[in-house]
Amino acid sequence: MKQVKKYPAAITIFGAKGDLTKRKLIPALYNLFTDHHLPSVFTIYCVDFLEVDQEEFRKDMLAGINEFSRSGVADVVKWNEFAERLFYIQGDFLKKGTYENLDEKLKAFEKQNEQNSTRIFYFAIAPRFIEIIAEALYKHNLCNRDSLDRIVIEKPFGTDLDTAKKLNRFLAKRFTEKQIYRIDHYLGKEAVQNIMAFRFANFVFEPLWNRKYIDHIQISVTEQVGVGKRGGYYDSSGALRDMIQNHLLQLLCIVGMECPKAYKSEVIRDAKTKVMKSVKPYTTAQVFKNVIRGQYTGGTINDQPREAYRKEEQVQSTSKTETFVAAKLYIDNERWKGVPFFMRTGKSLPAQSSVIVVQFKDTPHKIFKDDIVPNRLIISIQPELEISLLFESKVPGLQMKLKPVEMDFTYKESYTETIPEAYEALLLDVLNGDATLFMRADQIEAAWKVVMPILEAWEKFPAKDLHMYKAGTCGPTAASTLLKPYAKEWYELPFNKTEKAIPNLKSAQ
């Protein structure tokens, strides 16, 4: 097997003083370094407009590792080795001097090592700077080698279909598609990646993965937190743009995709995009029947008071922005025709969890009177990384009595290896030039096409059917009504792991 040459890596992070850099990116890079996944020769340049002393910056990044890294407090020797290659560059994103300075440093790094380097430019910045930085990189020839230079862009990628198309066209004139990595950290989560292995490496499930055997599918990403200090951004975005358009639709693609011909980047991205393009669009009237939006009012979570959304910092007092969305979508193809995919996300809910529930159809010929719970597959992404299968079993004794039981697989019990953070997996893929877990331009646009009829309906009727729900509750009651006749209520992971939430998803028929 031909080995891929490993080049030195020059990683540039724009937005050095931002939360993402301190909490996620530097801890991820540090863990990749300590686990020997980074090239032996690398450098990290962190750029921002504030004047910060080099050593003070390094101390701040060390504090971020100590607080947020999965590996805990940094090892002194390893940190010192890592810190020697971590540099802060003061520079205004709007001024060419910033890029000229960066160009000099990158060239000096490559000259010192007497070879080219893989150049990664991470945009950990507000969306308004994406085009500004991209243009500067292009003009100063900092990112012009197709096989070595890459840019990484965080969501939101556009605010609607038109802006996403415009941004795609803008970037396509300056970089090749293989250089652009549109990152969604959800796709880097271990449990999300395992869905593909679970589906396509275990033939026992794939023959059942279709409309003949599956009744419906639920995809829930619930958040206990409110908007916090993100009110300014969130009030112009909302849950549909912030979560459904990217995270949840990506999960839908992985659950709904056809088996790819090979585990290769473009083949897998083709399969995901095909699913997205098959999601049936809604008319305005259909939106209000199949999509529920809500906004949290004051309440309590863990016995602590929670302000109403409209009283949060930088949120308008008359805001109609949704903090909760539940939707019923259909994939219009041969495999899934008629099977509803229920999606739900919201803030200020009772618990933080991400779960996919595959509800199988009921037993066609019932011979046992207490055969009342259909088979169910539960894929928990967080807080527990777990896959469980619900099935009926005979209770020990002299009578034929059935009871639903769960067969569990948990990472904690099955593996001793520590689980890497999502950003570790994704940053390593960028370094290796593997775009499998990243979104392509056409997939981004297809996702926007799914949500645009909903956004347009809400814009046309901003106050219609905006359901209020108390913080700390499970959302608007209308969200459960949306499930009928397939289920009475949304599946909730049990708060106490010794309890099973078996009765929670009985058929409403």
Contact present, 326 and 291 (Cβ < 8 Å): yes
DSSP structure class, residue 115: S
Residue 407, beta-bridge partner list: 389
Instruction: Quickly list H helices, 257-370.
Output: 265-278, 284-290
Residues in CB range of 239: below 8 A, 6 or more apart = 293, 322, 323, 324, 325, 345, 346, 347
Smallest CA-to-CA distance from 302 within 353, 355, 348 is with 348
Q: Are 155 and 448 in contact (CB under 8 A)?
A: no
Cis check for the bond before 485: say yes or no (omega within 30 of 0).
yes
**Active site annotation includes 247:** yes
Q: Fill in the amino acid letter for 4.
A: V
Q: Which of 185, 247, 365, 467 is catalytic?
A: 247
Do residues 504 and 489 lie in contact, with contact meaning Cβ atoms separated by under 8 Å? yes
What's the Cα-to-Cα distance from 419 to each of 127, 189, 465, rounded to whole Å? 30, 9, 42
Burial of 238 (0-12, 13-18, 19+ CB in 10 A): buried
Which single residue is written with the structure tokens 């569990």?
A: 408
Residue whose C-alpha is closest to residue 478's, from 265, 363, 327? 327
The residues annotated as belonging to the active site are: 247
